[in-house]
């Protein structure tokens, strides 16, 4: 284990440092040298487009491997590791969100952009927190109801009131963290309607990501594996419940894993 590897958040230098650390720990534990590895596969977060192939492979090359190397987006690991059939669709809900898959013949592939809310895709912690902060603004202006999320964030960051919280966020005095999504799950577990709605919204968005790839692959009328990966799925069963409702409406044969 080491730190994150997505260059979009830690930069290519951060990716290099964390990859080297993780690989060296693994090699030490196995009592192997890089030259003794006969094949290596890398599922890398943030590797989404062809232009990112060269810089990513250049960093992998610093490991000193002499074997064949395969590079894929980390979403694909969901299908490789989670589907007994070796094909289907994987949906990621972690810090961000993504969805990819392929058919049984491995000749047809499907994907979304993986670029988040700006490109109309939601379902990760960052998108849920974006919507949570919007809910806090609605509470302050009276546009929406009060929520226990407000109290939880005020307590965590030791801020006096909602006015000061919004001022700090808007004036870039501080930022909420992706891990703050745990406060949303906690508020929902306490019966907070705003938090519950946010989780259900996130589940629906994840379902729509899956449906996008389902349509690309023409999976509507077949049985296939749909693998969920990412820590967000541990937050609340509502996430999967809502996601299943959206997916099974167009693809009743989706087998959630």
What pLDDT does 184 receive? 98
What is the average pLDDT score of the chain?
Answer: 96
The answer to whether residue 4 scores a pLDDT higher than 90 is no
User: Which H or E run contains 249?
Assistant: none
pTM to 2 decimal places: 0.93
**Whole-number pLDDT of residue 257:** 98
Inform me whether the pLDDT recorded for 64 exceeds 90: yes
The one-character DSSP state at 91 is: E
Cβ neighbours, 10 Å, residue 95: 23
pLDDT in tens, 206-254: 999 999 999 999 999 999 999 999 999 999 999 999 999 999 999 999 9
- Residue 105 in this model has a pLDDT that exceeds 90: yes
User: Please, what is the angle between helix 148-157 and helix 193-217, to 10°?
Assistant: 100
Q: Provide the pLDDT for residue 9.
A: 86
| pLDDT of amino acid 177 | 87
pLDDT in tens, 132-164: 999 999 999 999 999 999 999 999 999 999 999
**pLDDT tens for each residue of 159-216:** 999 999 999 999 999 999 889 999 999 999 999 999 999 999 999 999 999 999 999 9
What secondary structure does DSSP assign to 37-84, as a single string?
---EEEEETT--SGGGHHHHHHHHHTT---S-EEEEETTHHHHHHH-T
């Amino acid at each position: 284990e080491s730190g994150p590897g997505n260059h979009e958040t830690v930069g290519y230098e951060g990716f290099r440092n964390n990859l080297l650390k993780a690989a060296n720990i693994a090699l030490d534990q196995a009592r192997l040298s890089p030259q003794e590895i006969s094949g290596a596969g890398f599922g890398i977060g943030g590797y989404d487009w062809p232009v990112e192939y060269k810089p990513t492979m250049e960093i992998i090359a610093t490991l000193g491997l002499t074997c064949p190397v395969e590079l894929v987006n980390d979403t694909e690991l969901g299908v490789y590791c989670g589907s007994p059939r070796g094909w289907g669709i994987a949906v990621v809900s972690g810090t961000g969100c993504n969805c990819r898959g392929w058919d049984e013949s491995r000749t047809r592939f499907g994907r979304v952009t993986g670029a988040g809310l700006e490109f109309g895709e939601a379902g990760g912690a960052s998108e849920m927190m974006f919507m949570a902060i919007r809910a806090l603004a609605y509470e302050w202006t009276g546009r929406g109801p009060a929520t226990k999320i407000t109290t939880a964030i005020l307590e965590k960051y030791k801020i006096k009131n909602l006015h000061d919280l919004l001022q700090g966020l808007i004036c870039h005095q501080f930022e909420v963290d992706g891990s703050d999504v745990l406060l949303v799950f906690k508020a929902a577990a306490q019966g907070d309607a705003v938090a519950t709605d946010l989780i259900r919204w996130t589940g629906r968005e994840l379902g729509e990501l899956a449906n996008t790839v389902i349509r690309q692959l023409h999976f509507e009328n077949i049985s296939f594996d749909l693998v969920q990966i990412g820590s967000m799925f541990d937050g609340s069963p509502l996430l999967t419940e809502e996601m299943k409702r959206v997916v099974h409406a167009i693809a009743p044969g989706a087998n959630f894993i």
